[in-house]
C-alpha cells in the first residue's frame, strides 16, 4: 500500500471513522517503511459533511461526474465562441444534471446512514456547479478527496469558509487538450485576418512567459510542501524522543517509589527491633539489680 492508495481508502471511510482510519493507515505506512507517506497522510484533513457527500458521489457515480465535467467543457467553448444559442441549449442540461446528481447524493447518504440538511444539500449543489464551471475544481471533485465544499464566485473557487480553495490544477492530459483547442481556435482567425508575424511572436512570447510563471509557482509550491514535510518529520522525531524519555523517567520513578516502600518497611522493622532490644535491656538490668 502506498500513499495514494491509503488516501483513497481514507476518504472512502465513513465520516465518523475518519480520524481512527487515518491513524491506522498512517501506522501501516510507517510500518512498511514509508515515513514520508505516513507523515503526509497524518496531515490530511477531515472532510465536512458536504465534502464527504461530494466524495461519495464521485466514487459511486464517476460516469455522471465525467458527464458533468464534459458539459463544463462545452459551456466554456460556447462562451469563448460567444455562441448565445448554444449556451441557451446547454443551460437546461446543466440544471437537469445537477438535479439528478443531487437526488443521487440524497439516496447515497441515506444508504450510509448520514442525515443531510438543506444547507448541506445546497453546498453539495454549489460544489458540483463549481466543478462544472472551473476545470481545476472539476478535477478535485473527480478525485474524491475534498475536505471542504466548493463554490464558484465569479473570480474563482472558494471553500466553505469563503477562503480561496487549494483545488489542484488541471492534469497534464486535460491541460494539453485545452491548449490544443485554444491553438486550433487561433489558427483559423490568423489565416482569415492575416495576422502579422510580429503579433504572433508577441503572443508566443506572452505564452512562454505565462508558462515560465506557472513553472516557477509550481517549483515554489513543491519546495513549500517539502519544507512542511521535513518540519513535520522533525517534529514527529522530537515527539518520539520525548516520549522515550518520559517512559524512562516513569520507569525510574516507579523503581524509586518501590525502593522508598522497601526501605520504609525495613526502617519500621529496625525500629521495632530496637524497641524490643531496649525493653530486653531494661528487664536484664532489673534482674541484675535484684541479685
Q: pLDDT tens track of the chain, all 291 residues?
A: 889 899 988 998 888 888 999 999 999 999 999 889 899 988 889 999 999 999 999 999 999 999 999 999 998 888 888 888 888 988 999 999 999 999 999 999 989 888 889 999 999 999 999 999 999 899 999 999 999 999 887 544 556 665 555 554 445 555 555 556 656 655 555 554 555 677 777 777 877 887 777 777 777 766 776 677 667 667 766 766 776 687 778 778 877 888 888 888 888 888 888 888 888 888 888 777 777
Instruction: Output the pLDDT for position 233.
Output: 66
Closest CA to 236 of 42, 2, 83: 42
Q: How far is CA 155 from CA 130, 134, 170, 252, in A?
A: 11, 10, 17, 62
Read off the C-alpha cell for 80.
Answer: 469563448
Instruction: Output the pLDDT for position 170.
Output: 45
Read off the C-alpha cell for 213.
Answer: 510563471
Read off the C-alpha cell for 57.
Answer: 458521489
Q: What is the dihedral of CA 160, 162, 164, 167, to 10 degrees?
A: 10
Read off the C-alpha cell for 37.
Answer: 507517506
Instruction: Output the pLDDT for position 169.
Output: 45
Read off the C-alpha cell for 120.
Answer: 448541506
Instruction: Output the pLDDT for position 155.
Output: 44
Instruction: Output the pLDDT for position 123.
Output: 93
Long-range contacts, 245-248 (Cβ 8 Å, 24+):
none
Instruction: Output the pLDDT for position 200.
Output: 72
Amino acid at each position: 500500500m502506498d500513499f495514494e492508495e491509503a488516501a483513497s481508502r481514507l476518504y472512502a471511510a465513513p465520516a465518523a471513522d475518519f480520524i481512527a482510519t487515518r491513524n491506522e493507515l498512517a501506522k501501516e505506512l510507517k510500518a512498511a517503511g514509508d515515513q514520508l507517506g505516513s507523515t503526509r497522510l497524518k496531515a490530511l484533513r477531515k472532510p465536512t459533511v458536504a465534502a464527504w457527500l461530494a466524495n461519495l458521489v464521485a466514487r459511486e457515480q464517476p460516469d455522471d461526474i465525467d458527464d458533468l465535467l464534459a458539459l463544463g467543457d462545452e459551456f466554456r467553448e460556447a462562451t469563448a465562441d460567444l455562441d448565445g444559442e448554444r449556451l441557451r441549449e446547454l443551460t437546461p442540461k446543466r440544471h437537469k444534471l445537477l438535479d439528478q446528481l443531487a437526488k443521487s447524493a440524497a439516496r447515497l447518504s441515506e444508504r450510509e446512514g448520514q442525515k443531510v440538511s438543506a444547507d448541506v444539500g445546497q453546498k453539495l449543489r454549489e460544489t458540483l456547479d463549481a466543478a462544472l464551471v472551473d476545470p481545476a475544481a472539476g478535477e478535485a471533485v473527480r478525485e474524491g478527496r475534498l475536505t471542504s465544499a466548493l463554490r464558484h464566485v465569479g473570480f474563482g473557487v472558494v471553500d466553505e469558509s469563503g477562503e480561496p480553495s487549494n483545488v489542484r490544477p488541471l492534469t497534464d492530459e486535460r491541460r494539453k487538450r485545452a491548449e490544443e483547442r485554444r491553438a486550433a481556435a487561433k489558427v483559423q482567425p490568423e489565416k482569415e485576418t492575416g495576422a502579422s508575424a510580429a503579433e504572433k511572436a508577441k503572443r508566443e512570447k506572452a505564452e512562454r512567459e505565462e508558462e515560465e510563471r506557472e513553472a516557477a509557482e509550481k517549483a515554489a509550491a513543491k519546495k513549500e510542501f517539502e519544507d512542511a514535510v521535513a518540519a513535520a518529520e522533525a517534529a514527529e522525531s522530537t515527539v518520539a524522543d520525548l516520549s522515550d524519555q518520559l517512559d524512562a523517567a516513569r520507569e525510574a520513578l516507579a523503581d524509586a517509589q518501590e525502593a522508598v516502600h522497601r526501605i520504609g518497611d525495613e526502617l519500621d522493622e529496625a525500629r521495632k527491633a530496637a524497641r524490643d532490644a531496649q525493653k530486653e535491656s531494661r528487664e536484664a538490668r532489673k534482674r541484675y539489680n535484684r541479685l
